[in-house]
Amino acid sequence: MVGNGSTVKKINSRIANLRGLEPAGRRAVVCEAAGLDAQDERALAGEDALSVSLANGMIENVIGKFELPLGVAGNFVINGTDYLIPMAVEEPSVVAAASYMAKIARDCGGFTTSSTLPIMRAQIQILNITDPYGARQRLLSARDDLMERANSRDKMLIGLGGGCKDIEVHIFEDTPIGPLVVLHLLVDVRDAMGANVVNSMAEMLAPRVEEISGGQVRLRILSNLADHRLARARVEITADALSTKDLDGARVAEGIVQACALAIVDPYRAATHNKGIMNGIDPVVVATGNDWRAIEAGAHAYAARDGRYTSLSRWEINGAGSLVGTIEMPMALGLVGGATKTHPAARAALRMMNVTSASELAEVTIAVGLAQNMAALRALSTEGIQKGHMALHARNIAILAGATGADVDRIAKQIAEAGDVTVDRAAELLSK
């Protein structure tokens, strides 16, 4: 189930002719649909939303700001609820592809999602252990004491229902520095991403862990392989919904399944396949002020968790002939702390999405990843990935050739229709 049932406003993500408007018009329509105020609209416009003085307080050695285009993917229905999706990304075709696949999915009931509790891991590395199995037993026997100490660190988190829920102890008998024992704290971080919470707990427990184990603690740090904090999405598309003017929908569905099969067995294809998934996920993570590097690390580690790198998604055809896509991966996103609370545009983006919990944000984000994956596989199995991508990339080429204003779309259309998406051709047309 998405969210906690406390949604205060209803959004319609189906906005007709959004692409045909100018940026200011799009922004006005989106903000009206999402119920955002003038302050949020200004923040989303990027008109000095992040002042240099504010940026200077966020990171070190600030000299300015670096901006990305901020787009909105429409049409998304997830667990029966409409969502407008903010996406900060520089790559052409990403927002358009997600929106188009969401429209196809919308007519088939949309996406369904679920997620586990927001459990993060902290690792405490213990060196110089002569009896690693004995140390493991001693640490496990002290489980209640260790958990109580960990939970004394953050009373607010405990009051919200979070906190350390369990410990694990892992042994590595053969490493370059001899036997290692690693204690894991499993912590429910609620609506936080959780890095600061679990790191602080690990730091605080280190002296006690040394006393119990008889070893020496070295690393005390979270793991970005958040395999207890998973988000899942599923979509079912009828064959008719996949039909094009040139291809039967059943053939398109078969092509998507065949394309996915290569990613399942071949890591060279899986790397590109999963990058396509992250094309949808990362822009949402960036737009909402979350840590996209943590999400990338967790995704790719999870894809290789069985010792072989493989696809994060699966595509199948069910007994009714419909295409079924599923995905599961770690999704450590937060609504509190960090840039999610500091950056005005990130705060406005979260209000646009109307999400009420970190778990809901994770579920919405993974649905966008599945939509992006479907778009890439559909293109690969039909006209090829370059046709649509280059048509949208033509705008960049036109700008690079010197086009401005109305000339951008005019030149882009001409070079795309001619199949000659080059700066030389754009410059030649512009000169005429």
Segments in 288-357 forming alpha helices (H)? 292-303, 339-342, 344-353
Please report the beta strands in 52-162, taking only residues with DSSP state E, as ranges in sequence order: 70-78, 81-88, 111-115, 119-127
Residue 146 and residue 209 in contact, taking contact as beta carbons nearer than 8 Å: yes
d(CA 64, CA 41): 22
d(CA 334, CA 262): 34
Active-site residue, selected from the candidate residues 300, 343, 389, 393: 389
Write the CA distances from 259 to 5, 124, 254, 278, 368, integer angstroms: 38, 41, 9, 17, 19
DSSP designation for 327: E
Active-site residue, selected from the candidate residues 91, 254, 420, 428: 91
Task: Report how far Cα 320 is from the mean position of its chain's Cα atoms.
Answer: 31
DSSP labels, 138-167: HHHHTHHHHHHHHHTT-HHHHHTT-EEEEE
The HSE-up count of residue 369 (CA atoms within 13 Å, CB side) is: 33
349, two tokens: 């983006």
Burial class (CB in 10 A: 0-12, 13-18, 19+), 428: middle
243, two tokens: 């039909």
Residue 7: count of CB within 10 angstroms of its CB: 14
Write the CA distances from 81 to 106, 168, 285, 360, 362, integer angstroms: 10, 38, 20, 11, 15
Active site residue 343: no
237 sits in which H/E element: strand 230-237
Write the CA distances from 36 to 12, 49, 88, 110, 226, integer angstroms: 13, 15, 18, 24, 33
Active-site residue, selected from the candidate residues 254, 275, 296, 420: 275
Active site residue 82: no
Under DSSP, is residue 5 helix (H, G, I), strand (E, B) or coil?
coil
What are the two backbone dihedrals, phi and then psi, of residue 188, each rounded to the nearest 5 degrees?
A: -80, 110
Active site residue 387: no
Active-site residue, selected from the candidate residues 154, 188, 291, 328: 291
d(CA 345, CA 81): 23
Active site residue 432: no
Burial class (CB in 10 A: 0-12, 13-18, 19+), 21: middle
Q: How far apart are the first and last CA of the chain?
A: 57
d(CA 311, CA 181): 31
- Residues with a known catalytic role: 91, 275, 291, 389
